[in-house]
């Protein structure tokens, strides 16, 4: 019996020869009956009763022996779809067993409760280049170290990044829990074409075109993927990511995006886009598809009137005005995709909820809210008193218990874990988190072989943007 399947048990006891045992147990009362009959004046009546009892015992014995020889079972098999899991809860398997007695058939329904199905924690990463892949691999490793649920990764990348990550994953042959990895390789031209079909966005950020793909995750991943956690590659988990996934359970029905909210980070030149961070996001892709988040020339060519206009254009105009740059692009948007996300959530506040700072302890604040390794016996009350940079934020008055570390301001190094500051024991950031980097970077991939079966499920998936798929189905050119 495995953890997902339990056979329906026969109601019979487990005996090697039920016929012999039943005959043995029936023999004593049979002789007793006939001895009693010889002394009874109603001998004929008792003889008839004994005969009827013998016939009934024979029929029951015949059917029970047949049932014991061929028990019926029903086994649950997981569906083949990627997102076939449900939130953990018991589910019921029912099996109907029909036993034919003397005359009409008797039907018995056996209800068996089996182990719950477990929903995987689904991540989406964007890794373009070997350096980004090295960071992404460390992030994936940290997830697998701590996750108490199955893990699912959707990685938008180039071929160089895929090969790097595949080489690391090849070392994990026996993960403790189910591991699914899907690589998506849009060509550079296909990404440029999708941006051109949107018609107004452009990036000034070092992440460039691949970074803008954050706005199109719902179009790149298949409709079967309904919600995901997006994390920039320059981050690691230091606690169970299932805790982050459970944030989805407490969101309002209207919420489509959750990310860090930093109202105290005010920068006029960035149109205040620093008030959020698109580095860690919980995305309801199903809502984005329903709302048609990003525009396209294909959508604008649809005259059926059956579909809503895209959500983003009105938000962009409200924040940045009419695009006035070359070819009608926004040239006054800063921080790349984050500038566009800021316009979207500022214009549609009902779609947004802030994320706990537990899941984004950022190195952009070198003191990282005045938390870090050390002083292991500190109380939450003392930790809260020491805490910094939370006044006027959603985290004010709530102690930060770090679960995700984000090293997003270590400029000048292509791989944050190789930052020269880690070798300086007097550096404030190194004092707080240097040993965490050393541990996770040095943790061997082969140490993740904690299971006995279920090798990783890893494939590369073709990319067709959702607007292109819409055009194919509606014959729009």
| pLDDT tens digits for range 268-312 | 777 888 899 999 999 999 999 999 999 999 999 998 888 889 999
**With bands split at pLDDT 50, 70 and 90, how would you rate the model's confidence at 139?**
very high
pLDDT, tens digit (0-9, with 9 covering 90-100), for 219-258: 999 999 999 999 999 999 999 999 999 999 999 999 999 9
Bridging pattern class, strands 276-284 and 352-354 = unpaired
- Most confident of the ranges 34-48, 107-121, 177-191, 260-274: 177-191
Q: Give Cβ neighbours of residue 102 (< 8 Å, ≥ 6 apart).
A: 59
Q: HSE on the CB side for 472, CA within 13 Å? A: 6
C-alpha neighbours within 13 Å on the C-beta side of residue 198: 27
Estimate to the nearest angstrom the gap between the alpha carbon of 330 and the chain centroid: 34
Please, where in the chain does CATH 3.90.550.10 lie?
122-472
Homologous superfamily, domain 122-472: Spore Coat Polysaccharide Biosynthesis Protein SpsA; Chain A (3.90.550.10)
Instruction: Determine the pLDDT at residue 272.
Output: 87
Does the pLDDT value for residue 69 go beyond 60? no
Q: At 81, is the pLDDT very low, low, confident or very high (cuts 50, 70, 90)? A: very low
CA–CA separation, 67 and 93 (whole Å)? 20
- The helix (H) or strand (E) run that includes residue 34 is helix 18-38
**286 or 116: which leads in pLDDT:** 286
Please state, for a pLDDT cut of 90, what percent of the chain lies above it.
63
Q: Tell me which of 207 and 328 has the higher pLDDT.
A: 328
Half-sphere exposure of 300 (CA within 13 A, CB side): 9
Note the pLDDT tens digit of each residue in 403-458: 999 999 898 899 999 999 999 999 999 999 999 999 999 999 999 999 987 899 99
341 three-state secondary structure: helix
- Greater confidence (205 vs 397) lies with 397
The predicted pLDDT at position 204 comes to 79
Enclosing H/E stretch for 127: strand 121-127
Output the pLDDT for position 269.
79
Mean pLDDT of 127-154: 97
Q: Classify burial at 1, counting beta carbons within 10 Å of its beta carbon; exposed 0-12, middle 13-18, buried 19 or more.
A: exposed
pTM of the model: 0.76
**Helix, coil or strand: residue 362:** strand
Reported as a single tens digit per residue, the pLDDT across 306-357 is 888 999 999 999 999 998 877 889 988 988 899 999 999 999 999 999 999 9
Residues 6 or more apart whose CB falls under 8 angstroms from that of 34 comprise 50
DSSP 3-state assignment of 292?
Answer: coil
pLDDT at 98 over 70: no
Q: What is the spatial distance between Cα 297 and Cα 302, in angstroms, rounded to a whole number?
A: 9
Q: And the tokens for 276?
A: 């959020």
Residue 402 · residue 100 · CB < 8 Å: no
Closest CA to 153 of 139, 167, 134: 139
Q: Do 441 and 430 meet the contact criterion of CB atoms below 8 Å apart?
A: no
């Amino acid at each position: 019996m495995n953890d997902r399947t339990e056979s329906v048990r026969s109601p019979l006891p487990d005996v090697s020869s039920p016929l012999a045992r039943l005959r043995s147990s029936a023999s004593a009362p049979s002789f007793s009956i006939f001895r009693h009959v010889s002394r009874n004046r109603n001998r004929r009546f008792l003889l008839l009763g004994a005969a009827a009892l013998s016939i009934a015992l024979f029929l029951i014995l015949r059917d029970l022996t047949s049932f014991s020889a061929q028990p019926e079972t029903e086994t649950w098999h997981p569906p083949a779809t990627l997102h076939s899991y449900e939130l953990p809860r018991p589910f019921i398997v029912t099996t109907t067993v029909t036993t034919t007695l003397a005359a009409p058939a008797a039907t018995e329904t056996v209800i068996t409760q089996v182990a719950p199905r477990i929903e995987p924690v689904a991540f989406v990463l964007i890794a373009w280049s070997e350096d980004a892949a090295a960071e992404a691999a460390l992030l994936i490793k940290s997830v697998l170290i701590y996750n108490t649920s199955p893990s699912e990764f959707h990685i938008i990348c180039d071929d160089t990044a895929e090969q790097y990550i595949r080489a690391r994953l090849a070392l994990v042959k026996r993960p403790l829990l189910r591991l699914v990895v899907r690589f998506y390789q849009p060509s550079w031209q296909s990404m440029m074409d999708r941006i051109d079909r949107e018609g107004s966005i452009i990036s000034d950020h070092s992440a460039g075109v691949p970074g803008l793909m954050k706005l199109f995750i719902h179009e790149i991943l298949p409709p079967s993927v309904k919600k995901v956690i997006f994390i920039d590659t320059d981050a690691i988990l230091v606690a169970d990511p299932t805790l982050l996934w459970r944030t989805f359970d407490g969101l309002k029905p209207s919420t489509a995006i959750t990310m860090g909210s930093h109202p105290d980070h005010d920068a006029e030149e960035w149109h205040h886009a620093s008030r959020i961070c698109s580095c860690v996001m919980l995305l309801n892709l199903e809502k984005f598809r329903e709302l048609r988040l990003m525009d396209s020339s294909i959508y604008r060519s649809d005259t059926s009137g059956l579909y809503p206009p895209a959500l983003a254009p009105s938000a962009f105009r409200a924040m940045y005005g009419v695009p006035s740059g070359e070819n009608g692009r926004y040239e006054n948007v800063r921080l790349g995709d984050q500038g566009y996300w800021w316009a979207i959530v500022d214009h549609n506040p009902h779609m947004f909820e802030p994320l706990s700072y537990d899941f984004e302890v950022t190195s952009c604040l070198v003191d990282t809210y005045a938390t870090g390794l050390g002083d292991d016996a500190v109380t939450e009350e003392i930790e809260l008193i020491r805490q910094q940079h939370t006044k006027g934020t959603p985290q004010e008055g709530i102690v930060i218990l770090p679960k995700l570390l984000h090293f997003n301001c270590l400029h000048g190094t292509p791989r944050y874990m190789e930052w020269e500051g880690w070798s300086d024991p007097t550096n404030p950031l190194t004092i707080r988190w240097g040993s965490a980097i050393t541990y996770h970077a040095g943790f061997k991939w082969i140490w993740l072989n904690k299971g006995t079966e279920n090798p990783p499920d890893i494939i590369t998936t073709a990319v067709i943007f959702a607007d292109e798929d819409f055009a194919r189905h509606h014959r729009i050119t």
